Amino acid sequence: MRLGLLTACLPGESLADVAGWAGAHGYAALEVAAWPDRPGRDWEASHLDVESFDAAEAARVRGLLAEHDLELSAVAYYENNLHEDPAVREATHDHLRRCIDAAQLLGVGLVGTFVGRDVSRTVAENLRLAETVLPPLVEYAAARDVRLVIENCPMEGWHPDGYPANLAYSPELWGWLAGLGLWLNYDPSHLAWLGIDPVAALDAHADRVLHVQAKDVELHPAARNRYGVFGRVLDREPWTSGWWRYRVPGLGELDWGRLVDALRRAGYDGVVSVEHEDPVWSGTPGRIRQGLAVAERTLGPLLAA
C-alpha cells in the first residue's frame, strides 16, 4: 500500500505545487481533482482541465508526477450523477465522460465519483433511476479500460433535511452497486458516525474496494443525544450536524492500525488517499499542509510496516 492525497483540499494551488510538496513530505501518490473551473465555486479544485485534455497534456502530467516520484491513483470528480434537474445531470455525466477520457490518456484505471440522489424522489425511485442512467457511464468507462469507484459518503448536505443524498452510504447498497458494475472508493470515516463498524463493513466487501480514502471523524455522543444521528433540525446549516465533524487521520475516533490490518488481510495493495476536510487544520494552504503532515505521520508508518 502507498500513501496518497486527494488534491481537492488545495484548490488554489497548482498541480505542480501540490506535487512538489507531496513528494517532499512522505506521499507517494495523488488522487487528482478534476472539477470544472466554475466561477463562484472556489472550493472545487480543477487540477486537471479535462475539457481540453489531450495526449500532450497527459504526457506533461505524467512527467510532473514522475519528477516527484508520485503515481496517479485516480481522477477525482465527486458529483451528483442523479441530480433532480435533467440538464444539470446531463452536464455532470458529460464532464464525467471527459474525466474518463483523461484517465485513459493518463493510463490510470480509476475515476472517483458519487452515485448521488434525486432529492425529489424516494430512495426506491432513485434506485430504478440509477439502474437506467448509470450503466451507460460504466460501459463508457469499461470501453476505455477505466472503472468507476464510488465513495460511500452520505452527502447529507445535498438533502434539505440532512438525509443521505448519495446512494452508496450504506453497506446494504454495496451489492447493488456491484450489480451495476460500480466499485468502491472506501472511506471509513462516514461509517463511524452512522454507527457502522468500518472494519466489519470492509471485511464483507473487500473484493469491491479498488481505492481507499483516509479521513477521520470526531464524535460527540452527548450532542447526538440531543440532535439524533441526522443532526440539528432547528436553524439547520448544511454540512454541520452539531455532533460530529471530520478530522485528519490520527485526530479522530478511528483505529487506523486495525483498519490498515484489515486492508492488508484482504490483500489490498493500492493507494490510501488522504481526503483532508478537517475544519481545525483549514483556512490557509499552510494550515492544510500541516493537517496533511499529521495524516502522513499517522498513516505512513502503518502502511510501511
Decide if 230 is inside a domain: no
Residue 161 has pLDDT above 80, yes or no: yes
In a domain, 244, yes or no: no
Q: Among all chains, which residue has been given the C-alpha cell 438533502?
A: 159
- Residue 258 pLDDT: 97
225 belongs to a structural domain: no
Surface-to-core class of residue 189, CB atoms within 10 Å of its CB (0-12 exposed, 13-18 middle, 19+ buried):
buried
Query: pLDDT tens digits for 260-279?
Result: 999 999 999 999 999 999 99
Percentage of residues in the chain having pLDDT higher than 90: 96
Render the burial of 152-183: b for 16+ CB within 10 Å, e for the rest: bbbbbebbeebebbbbbbbbebbebbeebebb
Q: How confident is the model at residue 305 (pLDDT cuts 50, 70, 90)?
A: confident
Between CA 94 and CA 102, with CA 100 as vertex, the angle to 5 degrees is: 105
pLDDT at residue number 211: 98
Query: How confident is the prediction for the chain on average, in pLDDT?
Result: 97
Q: What is the pLDDT of residue 5?
A: 98
What's the CA gap between 62 and 262, in Å, rounded? 31
Say if CB 118 and CB 83 are below 8 A apart.
yes
The pLDDT value given to residue 162: 93
The pLDDT value given to residue 62? 98
Which among 18, 101, 10, 92 is positioned nearest to 54, based on CA atoms?
101
Domain that holds residue 24: 2-214+252-304
| HEC sequence for 13-42 | CCHHHHHHHHHHCCCCEEEEEECCCCCCCC
The pLDDT assigned to 43 comes to 76
Residue 120's domain is classified under what CATH number?
3.20.20.150
Q: Which of 52, 13, 48, 14 is nearest to 34 (CA)?
A: 48
Q: Is 247 part of a structural domain of the chain?
A: no
180 belongs to a structural domain: yes
269 lies in some domain: yes
Overall number of domains in the chain: 1
The per-residue pLDDT for range 34-63, each reduced to its tens digit, is 999 887 777 789 999 999 999 999 999 999
Identify the CA nearest to 149 among candidates 197, 103, 194: 103
Q: Is the pLDDT of residue 177 over 90?
A: yes
What integer pLDDT is reported at residue 174 of this predicted model?
Answer: 98
Examine residue 175 and state whether it is found in any structural domain, yes or no.
yes
pLDDT tens by residue, 65-108: 999 999 999 999 999 999 999 999 999 999 999 999 999 999 99
CA distance readout (Å), 68 to 82, 238, 288: 37, 38, 20
Q: Answer with the residue of higher pLDDT: 30 or 42.
A: 30
What is the H or E stretch that residue 237 is in? none
Calpha distance 61→50 (Å, rounded):
12
Is residue 233 situated within a structural domain? Answer: no
- Please count the residues of the chain: 305
